Amino acid sequence: MKKTSIGFPYPVLSNDNNDYIDCSFSIEGTAEPEVDNGIIRIPLKYYLQCAGLADMIKDQKAQVLIYCESSNSSFRKIERYDFGTDEKLLEISASKISQILKLKGMIVSNGHYDNFNFEEHNKELFGTFKFKVNKGDILAISNLFEIELDSVDPLANKPSVFSVRPDDKAIDAIRVDYQDVKINIFLKREIYNQYQELRDEPALRTVLASYFVLPALVEVLCFMKDGVSDDDEDIKSRAWYVSITNRLRMLKIDLKEQVSMTTVANKILTDIVQETMNGIKHIKENVLTGGNLEG
């Protein structure tokens, strides 16, 4: 049985169909991107084996795009390849990414064409029919390229300033201590063991970060706003203080001018509230309904 691009009224080059004969379109990049000053840099290259589409790109009648999407966040972005090159350095703010960055290449039409027909089109499916394509129509879809990022790094692109640790002598369920180089979140041993078990599931990590890290960060921000003097060099030299201060500077936030530390904490943690809701929705759709949590 022949597969074709149902949903597209014209041939589309894709691994999921047989619209083209002996053609391919793919993107490749590094699985460990460079991170510098809050920016993720990913060198990408596309590979196209199709004379008809290659000629359209050469004549600037079509263009190669990269669709970017971050799992468990609202980040969506489309980047364009420059004409005349099959390489691109993709740059994305690390503060917008959570868990997995998904990349997919596309070739889109740059104009309206009434005679869209290539030798590479599957003649068994389409014969010699000439199709009409409009500006912005998708002509090819590449493989999905995924990059796994740190699932729970509360301060994106920084060495984590949070440490969740057990406290065997604890009476209270949770305690936050920021007298060390890191912000230590101490959990009662029983709760810590449950935390560790749940954290093994990637889909739950953002939810756990929201549950434990968000309130801890709010407490720390209140301390930074009201409890740190200008000459308190000991506090200001700690890794967590430096990292949070840099993050606030990047976000152009002055704590002295802020009323709600919860709002500030959510911004620092890259809208973790929305990410948590997305994560819970994912769990509901894929687990509570009998699906696969990692699907």
**CATH number, residue 55:** 2.60.40
For residue 5, being part of any structural domain is answered with no
Domain boundary among the residues 118, 148, 178 is at 148
Burial 131-170 (b: 16+ CB within 10 A, else e): bebeeebbbbbbbebebebebbbbbbbbebbbebebbeeb
Q: Is the dihedral of CA 14, 76, 8, 65 positive or negative?
A: negative
Indicate whether 167 and 255 sit together in one domain: yes
Indicate whether 185 and 74 sit together in one domain: no
Question: What pLDDT is recorded for position 8?
Answer: 86
Rounded to whole angstroms, the Cα distance separating 95 from 235 reads 25
Indicate whether 120 and 57 sit together in one domain: yes
Ordered per-residue pLDDT tens for the chain, 295 residues: 345 555 789 999 998 899 999 999 999 987 677 776 667 888 999 999 999 999 999 999 999 999 998 765 667 889 999 999 999 999 887 767 766 788 999 999 999 999 999 999 999 999 999 999 999 999 999 999 888 765 434 444 444 688 889 999 989 999 999 988 889 999 999 999 998 888 777 667 778 878 888 999 999 999 999 877 777 788 888 888 888 888 888 888 999 899 899 999 988 887 788 878 877 877 777 665 554 544 4
Domain total of the chain: 2
Q: Is 208 helix (H, G, I), strand (E, B) or coil?
A: helix
pTM summary value: 0.55
CA Rg value for the chain: 25
Domain boundary among the residues 90, 116, 148 is at 148
Report how far apart, in Å, the C-alpha atoms of 237 and of each of 179, 181, 228, 232, 241 are.
11, 9, 12, 9, 7
Question: What pLDDT is recorded for position 155?
Answer: 45
Indicate whether 113 and 138 sit together in one domain: yes
Indicate whether 134 and 188 sit together in one domain: no
DSSP 8-state symbol, 15:
T
For residue 289, being part of any structural domain is answered with no
Residue 220, token pair as written in the block: 């720390």
* Domain range for 132: 24-148
Q: Which residue in 205, 248, 239 sits closest to 38, CA to CA?
A: 248
For residue 105, being part of any structural domain is answered with yes
Residue 244, amino acid:
I
Indicate whether 34 and 107 sit together in one domain: yes
Domain boundary among the residues 123, 148, 173 is at 148
Indicate whether 135 and 198 sit together in one domain: no
